[in-house]
Amino acid sequence: MQKAKMVIDKEFKISEIDERVYGSFIEHMGRAVYGGIYEPEHKEADEQGFRKDVLELVKGLNVPIVRYPGGNMVSAYNWEDGVGPIDNRPRTLDLAWRTVETNQVGTNEFADWANKAGTDVMMAINLGTRGIDEARQFIEYCNHPGGSRWSDLRREHGYEEPHKIKTWCLGNEMDGPWQIGQKTAEEYGRLAKETAKAMRAVDPEIELVSCGSSGSGMPTFPEWEAVTLDHTYDEADYVSLHQYFGNQDNDSQNYLASTLELDRFINTVTSIADYIKAKKRSNKTLMLSFDEWNVWYHSTEQDKENAPWGTAPPILEDVYNFEDALLVGGILITFLKNADRVKMACMAQLVNVIAPIMTDNMGAAWKQTIYYPYMHASLFGRGVSLQPILSSPKMDTKDFTDVPYLDSAVVHNPENEEATIFIVNRHLSEDLRLDINVSSFEGYQLVEHIALEHEDLKAVNTSEKQEVQPYKNKETSLNMGSIEAKVNHASWNVIRLKKM
Ligand code: AHR
């Protein structure tokens, strides 16, 4: 069996981790809201119609922030349609997904749901069909205490206290030809800057995300970032990144190496932001909000069967397999290794639509395979991100050379004196003997080694059967400052230490 070595040290700090890297996303599309978080006829529905079984699964992920209400949908969304007496709300056409939106859930209900789920809202505004005026009115409605037209309307709607939404996205994927109201970089940059000024005038406490490219494969990337940030740099706090992954060629070894591409994407956007910083002689460092990421490719064929203008049709319902869980683990490791710049990230999405949680209408709710690495990172990955020194055998794949079998991120939580080592072995057939030097963690003991493995890369979880579930690897030991572990091929590993 080949060997790998690692050294971790409390002093090898990358950065404090912003817990919002474990964020998620709920868009008004498919069965994310209707039939997902909200189903008033369901036996688990609470007094507002929210499914309590789904809320429990969301709480299990300890999600700190949820982006809302879109996504593509937001670019032709009128927020006014979703507030006020529910019975008076219009049925509207959602042009992005060509479905009918009933508006039974809107801003206030979603804020209530977020409270119940113990999470914050990251609100996106419509910069497709609308602009400065609606954005300033909407933020006045949400965040102003009262005594003005829009804040008093909120109070009339039964919400005396402002929602105090801190994080706002200035539109969504405005470079995409599929976007209603697509903009050139110049058009978007100007509009986003002026909108940001107006929003901040209403509430100076907010944080704003300038819209980046909808993916590194866009023909306008990275010029879009350079041009738009030239306009928005002084007003924005973050630039957004979006990226979806898929194993369309059924080349699993290459698929699992694609986090190298993700790392490159993050570094490129960081460099552009820093170039604009230098150009403007600014003292501010712009941070990254990776506010849409996930695997998305399983559902593409199935979606073609959906007729337009249905209500809550089952779209983008990817059923995730075991190899997708490994990739998701690798993506989370990549964010942690870039914790000095990636401050927010949203798994897209949370329920039913490309999601870790699935439901049946009027039926069960269950965990997809990708739920587990997301849960482990969110529960145990809070504190300071450390730079591991790792020596691992390497391989070449179709698109990548010198890919280490092992990828790892390490998190130290000095407050509760815990440390967690996340490791993915992306080699499909080779197990490794791993030696980890942890001598700087004096007095720390091994709590557990959790692993996710399955002999079938394509194994999935369903409402009937949880095929893919974590187990405890009892063979791992810690002696004299050194951890000895066997890291099996195609595995996700969470090794936890605590000072006793
Ligand atoms: O998450 C699904 C869609 O992917 C979002 O609506 C859009 O922003 C992205 O293209």
What secondary structure does DSSP assign to 20-83, as a single string?
GGGEEE--SSTTSTBTTTB-TTSTTB-TTSBBHHHHHHHHHTT--EEEES-SGGGGG--GGGGS
Choosing from 173, 225, 317, 418, the catalytic residue is 173
User: C-alpha 343: how far from its chain's center?
Assistant: 11
Question: In whole angstroms, what is the distance from residue 295 CA to residue 316 CA?
Answer: 11
Q: Whose CA is nearest to atom 5 of ligand 1?
A: 71
Atom of ligand 1 nearest to the CA of 349: 1
Could you give phi then psi for residue 448, rounded to 5 degrees? Answer: -170, 160
- Would you say 213 and 289 are in contact if contact means Cβ atoms under 8 Å apart? no
How much distance in Å is there from the Cα of 71 to the middle of ligand 1?
Answer: 5
**Ligand 1 touching residue 348 (CB < 6 A):** yes
Q: Whose CA is nearest to atom 1 of ligand 1?
A: 348
Least Cα distance to 289 among 237, 251, 333, 324 occurs for 237
How much distance in Å is there from the Cα of 73 to the middle of ligand 1?
Answer: 8
> Collapsing DSSP states into helix, strand and coil, what is residue 496?
strand
Choosing from 27, 292, 317, 323, the catalytic residue is 292
What is the separation, in whole angstroms, between the first and last Cα of the chain? 33
Sketch out the chain's domains with CATH numbers: 2-10+385-499 (2.60.40.1180), 18-380 (3.20.20.80)
Give the predicted TM-score (pTM) of the model. 0.97
Q: How far is CA 436 from CA 154, 490, 495, 497, in A?
A: 55, 19, 11, 12
Least Cα distance to 17 among 348, 411, 330, 284 occurs for 411
Q: How far is CA 264 from CA 31, 258, 335, 479, in A?
A: 33, 10, 12, 37
> Collapsing DSSP states into helix, strand and coil, what is residue 391?
strand
Question: In whole angstroms, what is the distance from residue 387 CA to residue 340 CA?
Answer: 11
Task: Compute the radius of gyration of the chain from its Cα atoms.
Answer: 23
Question: In whole angstroms, what is the distance from residue 336 CA to residue 48 CA?
Answer: 37
Q: Clarify whether 173 is annotated catalytic.
A: yes
Atom of ligand 1 nearest to the CA of 71: 6
Least Cα distance to 373 among 447, 293, 476 occurs for 293
How much distance in Å is there from the Cα of 72 to the middle of ligand 1?
Answer: 6
Q: Whose CA is nearest to atom 7 of ligand 1?
A: 71
Residue-level pLDDT at 250: 97
Could you list the mean pLDDT of each consecutive 10-residue stretch along the chain, which spans 500 residues?
Answer: 97 98 98 98 98 98 98 98 98 96 98 98 98 98 98 98 98 98 98 98 98 97 98 98 97 98 98 98 98 95 81 96 98 98 98 98 98 98 98 98 98 97 98 98 97 98 97 96 98 97
How much distance in Å is there from the Cα of 425 to the middle of ligand 1?
Answer: 30
Question: In whole angstroms, what is the distance from residue 270 CA to residue 281 CA?
Answer: 16
* Residue among 27, 29, 97, 318 whose CB has most ligand 1 atoms within 8 A, to mutate: 27
Residue-level pLDDT at 306: 78
Could you give phi then psi for residue 167, rounded to 5 degrees? Answer: -110, 130
Angle formed by the axes of helices 185-202 and 132-143, to 10°? 30
- Would you say 346 and 290 are in contact if contact means Cβ atoms under 8 Å apart? yes
Q: Clarify whether 194 is annotated catalytic.
A: no
Q: Whose CA is nearest to atom 8 of ligand 1?
A: 71
Residues found in the chain? 500
Residue-level pLDDT at 301: 73
Residue-level pLDDT at 305: 74
**Ligand 1 touching residue 292 (CB < 6 A):** yes
> Collapsing DSSP states into helix, strand and coil, what is residue 149?
helix
Question: In whole angstroms, what is the distance from residue 494 CA to residue 477 CA?
Answer: 13
User: Residue 222 — left, alpha, or beta (φ > 0 → left; ψ -120 to 50 → alpha)?
Assistant: alpha
Question: In whole angstroms, what is the distance from residue 474 CA to residue 296 CA?
Answer: 34
Residue whose token pair is 């683990």 = 329
**Ligand 1 touching residue 71 (CB < 6 A):** yes
Question: In whole angstroms, what is the distance from residue 377 CA to residue 194 CA?
Answer: 37
> Collapsing DSSP states into helix, strand and coil, what is residue 366?
strand
Residue-level pLDDT at 303: 74
How much distance in Å is there from the Cα of 96 to the middle of ligand 1?
Answer: 9
**Ligand 1 touching residue 27 (CB < 6 A):** yes
Atom of ligand 1 nearest to the CA of 178: 10
Question: In whole angstroms, what is the distance from residue 460 CA to residue 321 CA?
Answer: 4
**Ligand 1 touching residue 418 (CB < 6 A):** no
DSSP string, 82-105: GSS-GGGPPPEEETTTTEEE--SS
Print burial letters for 64-98: b (CB count within 10 Å at least 16), e (below 16): bbbbbbbbbbbbbbebbebbbeeeebeebebbbbe
Q: Whose CA is nearest to atom 2 of ligand 1?
A: 71
**Ligand 1 touching residue 203 (CB < 6 A):** no
